[in-house]
Amino acid sequence: MPGVPAHIGAFHTIGVDQLQLLLNALQSRGYRTIAPRIMDGAIVYSEIAKIEQLPVGVIDRQDGGTYRLEKVPTSGYFDYVVGPQSLKGYLFPPRETLLKSVRKNGDWQFTVPPVEAPPLAVLGVRSCDLHALAIQDKVFLGGPYVDPGYQARRQNLFLVAVNCRRAAATCFCHSMNTGPAARQGFDLALTELSPDFLIEVGSPSGGELVAELQLAPATPRQVEEGRVISDLLVAELQGRAAKASNEVSAPAESPGASGTTPPIRERFLDTTNIHGLLLGNLEHPRWQETAERCLACSNCTMVCPTCFCAAVEDVSDLSGDNVRRERAWDSCFTAEHSTMNTGTVRKTTASRYRQWLTHKLATWHEQFGTSGCVGCGRCITWCPVGIDLTEEVVAIRDHDGAKARNEV
């Protein structure tokens, strides 16, 4: 019988077999359960029924424009990090009908279709993505208007977070203050101690589940063990900046050494005065240099968990009497994004890349009181030409105040 709900902040332990019971309990409460699974060589969110369906013993190698999964001898359940998908599509669907119009006897009738908001439980959410969710909450719920679809789906979401034990080379959550440990915004949070997991309660409904599963309270030693896992990763991420500056000051490698692959850049981002830096360099030559590589393909905006731009268009049947107004993900890398009948505002790839980066890292602060970047690294990995926003910031910072001869 379920006892008293565990209180928020309480730590318990949960074994792998009990994780299965957790999944079952969520399903019996009506939640659709999704978790990281391997599809087409990448980790994506997908329906999960059995805990063994998790990618056990798999890690991801991510770098600018590359993503590769590897089998490793350790049997961690969550030692890969984020794949191309985030939670974004579950709350803000890639396509959604906002309004239906029906013409009867020449008169139009307008109805807002009922919002589809099936209760959804997600297992394996990382801290960066919890922060991304909090940012999208500000966009869709925090302003003068509330998006009804987003709101309904958000209310029906149950989140089981996972504290990362390892980071990819593309991760820079630590620079953005968004990880690696999940601090808030979850119902339950797991830390893998091998073989068992530490489980932290983050909400009343999380506490109820812990009580229902009669999980044993964690010992202080286990709690400490969990803390150390996060601390070690923080230290590693913190060390990246120092390591990079040593590399820069080290003598250049002997030229012509064929076959040597350059060391993978382990990302971090110096956010010091980043707002002033980027907005003070709107005419920096770097925008044009990057535009020469950028394909304006929009991948970065599609994979970004905080990007929220959308196009709204009408779709009608053959009679023209039934019209749906649909919203679909859009990107500031397209010409249409800024096109008016008087012309396109951002005519060049340089101006679009500038819009994206300055919005993400600078103007987002005025709009929503936070950076628009959580340091998940997706835009770096999934950019076909490996453009890396952390490098872009370095390039601008290194030549602060430089001006292009021709305007962007």
Partner 1 sequence: MTTVLEHPTSASPWLSHAAHIVAIRNEVPGVATYDLVFDDPQRAASYRFAPGQFNMLYMPGYGEAAISISSDPTERGFLSHTIRVAGNVTQAIARQQVGGHVALRGPFGSSWPVNESRGRDIVFACGGIGLAPLRPAIYEVMNHRADFGRVIVLYGARTPSGLLYTNEFDTWRAKDIEIEVTVDIGDPEWHGHVGVVPLLFYQHRLQAHRTTVMTCGPEIMMRFIVFEALARKIQPEDIFVSMERNMSCAMGFCGHCQIGPHFVCKDGPVFNYRQAEPFFNVEDM
Ligand X SMILES: Cc1cc2nc3c(=O)[nH]c(=O)nc-3n(C[C@H](O)[C@H](O)[C@H](O)COP(=O)(O)OP(=O)(O)OC[C@H]3O[C@@H](n4cnc5c(N)ncnc54)[C@H](O)[C@@H]3O)c2cc1C
Q: How far is the CB of 155 from partner 1 (least distance, A)?
A: 8
Measure the CA–CA gap between 181 and 220, rounded to whole angstroms.
18
Question: Is 341 a binder of ligand X (CB under 6 A)?
Answer: yes
φ/ψ of residue 258, rounded to 5: -70, 155
Least gap, CB of 142 to ligand SF4 (angstroms): 18
CA-atom Rg of the chain in angstroms: 23
Find the binder of ligand SF4 among 154, 240, 284, 378 (CB under 6 A): 378
Peptide bond into 180 cis (omega under 30): yes
Amino acid symbol at 28 = S
208, 156, 197, 201: which is closest to 182 by C-alpha?
201
Query: CB under 5 to 8 A by kind: which of ligand X, ligand SF4, partner 1, none does 335 bind?
Result: none
- Residues 285-304 binding ligand SF4 (CB under 6 A) are 294-300, 303-304
Of 172-180, 231-239, 299-307, 338-346, the segment contacting ligand X by CB under 6 A is 338-346
- Counting residues that bind ligand SF4 (by CB under 6 A) gives 25
Q: Among 5, 179, 206, 377, which residue sits at the site for ligand SF4 (rule: CB under 6 A)?
A: 377
Among residues 126 and 325, whose Cβ is nearest to ligand X?
Answer: 325
Q: Which of 292, 342, 343, 366 binds ligand X (CB under 6 A)?
A: 342
| Residue 366 beta carbon to ligand X: minimum distance, rounded to whole angstroms | 20
Cα separation, 389 vs 376, in Å, equals: 11
What is the rounded distance in angstroms from the CA atom of residue 322 to the CA atom of residue 317?
6
| 343 is a site residue for ligand X (CB under 6 A) | no
8 A C-beta contact, residue 187 and residue 202: yes
Nearest-angstrom CA–CA distance, 288 and 278? 14
Is residue 237 within 8 Å of 167, Cβ to Cβ? Answer: yes
Residues 311-350, interacting with ligand SF4 (CB under 6 A): 333
**Contact partner, 320, from ligand SF4, ligand X, partner 1, none, Cβ < 5-8 Å per class:** partner 1
Q: What distance, in Å, lies between the first and last C-alpha atoms of the chain?
A: 66
Task: Give CA–CA dist 173/371, Å, rounded.
Answer: 12
Q: Which residues bind ligand X (CB under 6 A)?
A: 340-342
Q: Which residues bind ligand SF4 (CB under 6 A)?
A: 294-300, 303-306, 333, 360, 373-379, 383-385, 387, 389
